[in-house]
Amino acid sequence: MILSFKFLAVATYRRVAAFILMLTAALAVLSAATTDARAQSIRDQVKPNESTILAPPPRVPIPPQGEVPTGAPAQLPAAKGGQTGRYYIGHRYYGEKEAGWGWIKNSADSWANAKWCAIKETPGVIVAPFRTLPNRWDDHNHEYKFWGRWASYTAYDPHRDEDLPVFILEGYESLGPKPELKRTPGAVRRNRPSRGSTSR
């Protein structure tokens, strides 16, 4: 009686253990299959439908572009914003492949110490002087007295793959056209692995 009960218990244990093992294995297989199916189904969506590629995209009108730069606007930008206290001198440089505004230096410094930089405008309050002119290249090689401050952050120029200091503009006064600076646009480069990126 005891022996048969013991035999029954062992048999039950084996069946339960076998059942649990089978269940575990089934769950593992199911999980792997689900993961593979998920990865595959998402991969299937990587490439757009051929029909969408073949359809030509709608044309976006391109604004008319003149010969650049002229550097000779019909009139100089009028003074704008607060013009008191310490000021800087800015030399505008326009290049279609440059996102920088130009060079800015302390009023007493030489141009050798000027920074190639970006300008932070405040829409509705003050914008860069060239926005008052017909074209953004119209003040190429113009100089300005600038009032404002250097930002605590930098801006990334995707054309040149480099970081530029940012000048927060608060006021300006035009000094008119000036001779071209003997400097090449661009910041002192950080050690970028992607140096030379011109992808935008």
Partner 1 sequence: MTSALLALARRVNVLALSMILMLPTLSQAGEYLVLSGGPALRLYEADKRATHDKYWFNFIDSAQLRIHQLKPKLAAGDEITWVVFRPGYADRATEMKNDPKEMTKLDLLNEIVRKANAEGVSLLWFDSTDQLINYMNRGKDRSKVPIVGFDFFGHSNKACFLFDYSNNVDGMSTEYLHVQDLAKLNKDIFSKNAFCQSWGCHSGELYSQKWKARFGVPMVGVVGKTDYSRVRLGDLPFESSGKNNWTQ
Strand-pairing partners, residue 146, are: 88, 172
Binding of residue 45 to partner 1 (CB under 8 A): yes
Among 104, 155, 170, 178, binds partner 1 (CB under 8 A): 155
The CA-based diameter of the chain, rounded to the nearest angstrom, is: 116
Residues 58-97 that bind partner 1 (CB under 8 A): 58, 60, 62-63, 65, 96
CB-based contact 192:142 (threshold 8 Å): no
CB-based contact 181:111 (threshold 8 Å): yes
Nearest to residue 73, comparing CAs of 176, 167, 1, 143? 176
- Least distance between partner 1 and beta carbon 84 (Å): 25
CB-based contact 149:168 (threshold 8 Å): yes
Residues 181-200 that bind partner 1 (CB under 8 A): 192-194, 197, 199-200
Binding of residue 15 to partner 1 (CB under 8 A): no
CB-based contact 192:162 (threshold 8 Å): yes
Give the binding site for partner 1 (CB under 8 A).
2, 5-6, 9-10, 12-13, 16-17, 20, 23-24, 27-28, 30-31, 34-36, 38-39, 41-43, 45-50, 52-55, 57-58, 60, 62-63, 65, 96, 99, 101, 118-121, 123-124, 127-128, 131, 135-136, 153-159, 161, 164, 166, 192-194, 197, 199-200
